[in-house]
Amino acid sequence: MPEVKSIFREVLPKQGQLSMEDVPTLVLCKPKLLPLKSVTLEKLEKMQMEAQEAVKQQELASKEPSQ
């Protein structure tokens, strides 16, 4: 607010040079909200997991008699 007079006055050096340097700072990657999964996607992933499990089971079963 320009009309309100601040009690602090800015200090500008009268002598010497005033130099400002804009130093580039490193940036962090931003926090990541995790997207919720749709029902279909959850079902697909569950079915995929089950399929993988079933394959593993069968592979184990087929290995055992040969040993």
Partner 1 sequence: MEVTMDPLFLAWSYFRRRKFQQCSDICSKILADSPYDQAAWSLKTRALTEMVYIDEVEVDQEGIAEMMLDESSIAQVARPGTSLRLPGTSQGGGPTPAVRPMTQSGRPITGFVRPSTQSGRPGTMEQAIKTPRTASTARPVTSASGRFVRLGTASMLTNPDGPFINLSRLNLAKYSQKPNLSKTLFEYIFHHENDVKNMTLQDVVQFSSNIIFCVQALDLAAQATEHAQFKDWWWKVQLGKCYYRLGLYREAEKQFRSALNHQEVVDTYLYLAKVYQRMDQPITALNLFKQGLDHFPGEVTLLTGIARIHEEMNNITSATEYYKDVLKQDNTHVEAIACIGSNHFYTDQPEIALRFYRRLLQMGVYNCQLYNNLGLCCFYAQQYDMTLSSFERALVLAASDEEQADVWYNIGHVAVGIGDLTLAYQCFKLALAFHNDHAEAYNNLAVLELRKGRVEQSKAFLQTAASLAPHMYEPHFNLSTLSEKIGDLQSSYTAAQKSEDAFPEHVDTQQLLKQLQQHFASL
Subset of residues 22 to 41 that bind partner 1, contact rule: CB under 8 A: 22, 24-38, 40-41
Nearer to partner 1, 10 or 22 (CB): 22
End-to-end CA distance of the chain: 85
Q: Does 20 bind partner 1 (CB under 8 A)?
A: no
Q: How far apart are CA 38 and CA 25, in angstroms?
A: 39
Q: Contact residues for partner 1 (CB under 8 A)?
A: 22, 24-38, 40-41, 43-45, 47-48, 50-52, 54-55, 57-58
